[in-house]
Amino acid sequence: MEHKRIVVAGTDTGVGKTMVAAMLTLGLDACYFKPLQSGTHGGTDTERVKALTGLSPAHFLPERYVFSRPLSPHRASELDGVEINPRALTLPPPASRPLVVELAGGLLVPVTRSLLQVDVLASWRVPVVLCARTSLGTINHTLLSTEALHQRGIEVLGVAFVGEANEDSERTICSFAAVRRLGRLPWIKKPTAAALRKVFKGFTL
């Protein structure tokens, strides 16, 4: 694998980042890391990826911050009485196993009152897989997200689409944003490790 570390970002919350991250973690035999977790009802995303993949504990890094409410990290941390230290969000050094890093929400989500998530991402200098829905509105959201990434000089590996096929929207996004279409993950009612591995074979990183 050329890229030892990959960030999985999304155009919004709930676009399927965790499922894509689980698929990449499985397909690449990588470690999974979610530095910021907002919302613990029903479990954390790390716990979800563990359950989806069935991988050993050695594949998972602990979160740096976990907040109880499903809000933007800047507000969730305030309500939990915790101050986020941006220096605590540095990534571990490259290792023998690839690393898949999942962000919290969209790119312009505030981490603190003076720091956006995309600016933390810029400091990492790690390439990004951008997850986007295939439903109505995805063209606008995805082009805004790729513009934010390009403006900060962040490498975009391409877009991972999630949902039912929408060939025109997918082609239009990749053309205007000048990015690659990595593949599409359909909505899977009962996702399994085997199903995610099968979808991964159709992806190009």
Catalytic residues: 34
Distances (CA, A) of 25 to 51, 183, 200: 12, 16, 10
β 110-112/115-116 pair status = antiparallel
Helix axes 117-124, 138-151, angle to 10 degrees: 50
Tallying the residues shown for the chain, one arrives at 205
